[in-house]
Structure 1
Amino acid sequence: MPRDTLAIYIHLVWATWDRLPLITPAIERPLHRVIALEAQKMGCTVLALNSVPDHLHVLVQMPSTVTVAELVKRLKGVSSHFVNDVLRPGLPFKWQGFYGAFSVSRWDVERIVAYIQRQKEHHQAGSLITELESVSEETEPDSN
């Protein structure tokens, strides 16, 4: 029996509150694990996940039954609760309220995976792809 073919790839980026360097080496790996586990619980396949002290990137293959907004809300919520309740009780950890979400062609998946895996190198060398680092779209106020 024929089945639908789905290849929905989304590159997500979100930042810590006020871009503070809250993702320390001590919490980075467990933070990544809890995010990956929650994404898997939602039926997503995590293809790449990495962070620098003030923001995080994740590339997922998503099912058609989950919205981007639902996924991000759950990943951010579960991870911030995990950091605040388990990893660093008493030290506030918070994500910014907005995020970036970029659709990725299946032909570009390998390139985006490589970019995410090399986040620390890109930030140190200043070789960032600006469009893939944006977590919000600044808009100019109407001049009318």
Structure 2
Amino acid sequence: MKLRQRNHTELVLHLVWATWKRMPLIADEDLERCLWRTIQAEAEAKGCSVLAIGGMPDHIHLVLVHPPTLSVSKLLNQLKGVSSSVARARLGTESFFQWAEGYAAFSLSTTHCRHAIAYVERQKEHHSLNDLWERWERTPESDSA
């Protein structure tokens, strides 16, 4: 007798969050790589599968498969908390690092998933060419500015 799975979910999210006042606090490539690794490891520890991570000196984009048992706000609080602690420890007391309070979260269909991954992986190129998907670049801080 074959057992049937009770639940099946495919929740793919595109998350975006910014640095404090959109300051370019992630300008150093070593810090950037450290933050990406930290965020990916923490997301995976929370049961997520990271599909893409990228960003600019003032914000981060993350595409992941999200477990249905974890709220988006709790996940973002954890990712931002752990990564800001790592950034502050790495930078030392002479430098400032802080994430802005808000975030943006978009659910992705299977069709849009590959487009979002490509967009996130080529963030620097999109910004240099000013070929931005404005909806995916906005965070609460950019809306109030």
Same fold (TM over 0.5): yes
* AA in 1 matched with 2:15: L
* AA in 2 matched with 1:6: T
Which residue of structure 2 lines up, in the alignment, with residue 72 of structure 1? 76
Separation in 1 of the partners of 2:74 and 2:66? 11
Where 2:132 maps in the other structure, the secondary structure is coil
Where 1:93 maps in the other structure, the secondary structure is coil
Separation in 1 of the partners of 2:100 and 2:143? 15
Which residue of structure 1 lines up, in the alignment, with residue 30 of structure 2? 26
Unaligned stretches of 5+ residues in structure 1: 140-144
Within 5 A, what are the aligned runs for 1:14-53? Answer: 14-24=17-27, 25-53=29-57
1:84 aligns with 2:88: yes
Unaligned stretches of 5+ residues in structure 2: none
Aligned Cα root-mean-square deviation (Å): 1.2
Separation in 2 of the partners of 1:88 and 1:77? 15
Deviation, structure 1 residue 51: 1.3
Where 2:54 maps in the other structure, the secondary structure is strand
* AA in 1 matched with 2:44: Q
Measured against aligned partners, the alpha-carbon deviations of 1:43-87 in whole angstroms (never above 9, x if no partner) come to: 0000000011100000010111101001100000000000102x1
Which residue of structure 2 lines up, in the alignment, with residue 2 of structure 1? 4
Checking the alignment, whether the CA contact within 8 Å between 1:50 and 1:57 is kept in structure 2 is yes
Where 1:114 maps in the other structure, the secondary structure is helix
Separation in 2 of the partners of 1:127 and 1:64? 33
* AA in 2 matched with 1:70: K
Q: 2:113 aligns with which of 89, 102, 109?
A: 109
TM-score when normalising by structure 1 = 0.92
* AA in 2 matched with 1:19: R
Measured against aligned partners, the alpha-carbon deviations of 1:94-113 in whole angstroms (never above 9, x if no partner) come to: 00000100111122111100
Deviation, structure 1 residue 117: 0.4
Deviation, structure 1 residue 26: 2.5
Aligned residues: 138
* AA in 1 matched with 2:14: H
Which residue of structure 1 lines up, in the alignment, with residue 133 of structure 2? 129
Where 2:15 maps in the other structure, the secondary structure is strand
Separation in 1 of the partners of 2:143 and 2:116? 24
